[in-house]
Amino acid sequence: MNKRWKPSATVAAVIERDFDGIQKFLLVEEETRDGLKLNNPAGHLDPGESPAQGCARETLEETAFHFTPTALVGVYLSRFEQTDARAPSGKLDITYLRFAFCGDLGAHMAGQALDEGIVRTVWLTADEIRACADMHRSPLLLRCLEDYLAGRRYPLELVTTDPSVMLLR
């Protein structure tokens, strides 16, 4: 059987803030089929938007904070199997292509509802994030954090969005 491989394009934000000399990172706690999990503000790229635009949108939807990407932290490919009775094998084979960005955190939109499934936002130190790996929704959460802490920053222009993509809106 010839099956075309179609990774899902996703975006994620690595957001750091100083709390009286203590560096913390903004994560979301979300309800998943595996229970409560932690993740970067992240989600699927929507039709008609660049990865940087998608990251800004997802961050606002999941955290109620405006976010402006200023650099690409990295591009990641990950794969996992998910139990699903509807799949012929009983499992779905899922691959994600993640674009992770860092940038400037803007205003908080008090009173804005968070995306469906998001329970709350949390600020954690890098050590706190490392200590709760069993709570991570994806191994990419820690990988993106470590790349950010290692100083990996690439210009936004590294990712080109052809104008034809904008016609999908």
CATH class of 8-155: alpha beta
Q: Residue 84: its pLDDT value, please?
A: 67
DSSP 3-state assignment of 121? strand
Cβ proximity of 92 and 82 under 8 Å: yes
C-alpha radius of gyration, the chain, whole number: 16
Mean per-residue pLDDT pooled into runs of 10, the chain (169 residues):
79 97 98 94 95 98 98 93 70 86 97 95 98 95 98 97 85
Contacts of 55 (CB under 8 A, 6+ apart): 11, 12, 13, 67, 69, 99, 101, 103
Q: Residue 166: its pLDDT value, please?
A: 87
Domain boundaries along the sequence of the chain: 8-155
CA distance 25 to 19: 10
The number of helices, as runs of H, and strands, as runs of E, in the chain is 4, 8
54, β-bridge pairs: none
Query: Residue 112 carries which DSSP code?
Result: P
Count how many residues are written for the chain. 169
